[in-house]
Structure 1
Amino acid sequence: MKRLLAYFKFSKTEQNGFFIILVIIVLFVTIYTLIKRNTRDPIPNQAKLFEQSFHDSIEISSPTDKREFNNPYVNKNESRESISPTPDLNDEKLFYFDPNNLPHADWHKLGLSDKQIAVLKNYEKKGGRFKVKTDLKKIYSINERLYKRLEPYIQIKTIPDSERTKQQDRASLLYDKFERNKAELIDINTCDTTALISLKGIGSILSKRILKYKDVLGGFYRIEQLKEVYGVTAETYDLIKDYIVVANLDGIKKININKVDANSLAKHPYLSPKDAKLIVNYRDQHGSYVNIEDLTKIGTLSDLAIAKIAPYLIFENDSR
């Protein structure tokens, strides 16, 4: 026993340390006990707040909504209709309107959301038009409830057939200035870019290409040559061919076939460098050309190439 008690003998310093530790432990236990008594369980507290807010929301909801929560036998379709995301519309804020091209802000005033308006505008972009009131019901973003509120205020302006025809005629005339007046035909050899742009299907870039090609050719002698211009498609040519003429042939630049060198001759779009060299070599070997038939003697030039280049050539004894 004495041997066991020997283990519990403390020096003066150890006794003081033990006493201090004991005091600290007692203080911690006391403080913890006091805090625990004054602290509420957070989970029941949050549940109570949620329950209170839930009942408050029922109290301020419409009678229809309250009936839905209280009546477990409420019809599902009725329930879905009553909690529709579409906000309630105040009849005092509604106004008479035409849904065709109605501004975004006015749709907002009628109570539609941005998503609903986006669907309507997309329908208009694709060429859609509301001809009668019920056409608005075909838009999937407009539910039955919203349509019933808006229907009394829809006023679609009808355009008489005669007026619609007049509008189409005016638009057509504005787009094509020369459709009605055949006297105002464009001479492709003397016109400028402004005249060409006035034609349907011709823009500023294409008009410049046409005039540049005219300069390279030396002038047009047939309107079909427009098909050779890059960008003039078959559809574009069909649109403009009836409004273009080649009236001024005097302005076509001629090439003296008996004096031109191979490099200069090769610059013409209708002759390749090889063709130009053959023409000049044959002239140097056999003498000057007398007429266009002499080019057929070369043998390597096709009849089509000769026919195309012929209007741009003059010969030494040619009076042109």
Structure 2
Amino acid sequence: MFTKQQRSGIFALILLILIFQCVIYVVDFSSEEFENDTALIHAYRAEVDSLKQLKLKNSQPKIFPFNPNFITDYKGYTLGMSAEELDRLHEFRKGNKWINSTKEFQKVTEVSDALLAEISPYFKFPDWVTNPKPKHEYNSSFSDNSKPKTFTEKQDLNTASASQLKKVNGIGEALSERIVNYRSRIGGFVADVQLKEVYGLSAEVIDRVLNQFTVKSGTPITKIHINTATIEELVTIKYIDYEIAYNIIEQRTLREGFKSLDELTKVKGFPVKKSEIIELYLTFD
């Protein structure tokens, strides 16, 4: 079937294949350069593995210093606290009581010693708790002002002058002017709690002011119903932006409405420290 020329070509092809097979079998094509490349590949692979481990380590959640009085459910779960321990903490805080030490935190929540040792280094209490100022004995000029008065005896905070406010121990010229200026800027106080918004007033000084003054006049606040408010209505409230308002409405839908401020404070991003101010503008009924 093949011509003589074709058969010669086939024999030549078979001969070339046999020769190449023998050459591949006999000759060693490996070289030191290839071995060096293999070692380099292993080095690169080890470096890549170490970078992966470093990235994995950095991706682990980090714990930053926090006040244990404001542990949310999500924060508690990430710390390793059980639901029962979180419930004890929330129940304690409902009584408007505060945890001021690591020992007190364990007493309230009943967390284990092992968990306490792990998370307590991140506890951050206010300076007035960790570094309390020494109590001074005040002279008699302040003794009358330190005694709390009845509502009738107290002066209206919205009509008090800077000179009258300076008579309160701890209120100097700068703070008295700051209170008056803040009052003018917001159009008058509507509740005593708004004193917390004045920069520089400590809790002790606010208590002394409220022993002598209280809000008796002022424009009533038009409250917004939390369970029917729109995003546009919510963002008109101080300290609530569009992101928080969106989270509130999302949680409101999942919960089928909020029944209390405590439930509202569990919304992601909610400014818990400003909850008393925000509550002035809301109704849950």
Fold shared by both chains (TM-score > 0.5): no
Greater Cα radius of gyration, structure 1 or 2 = 1
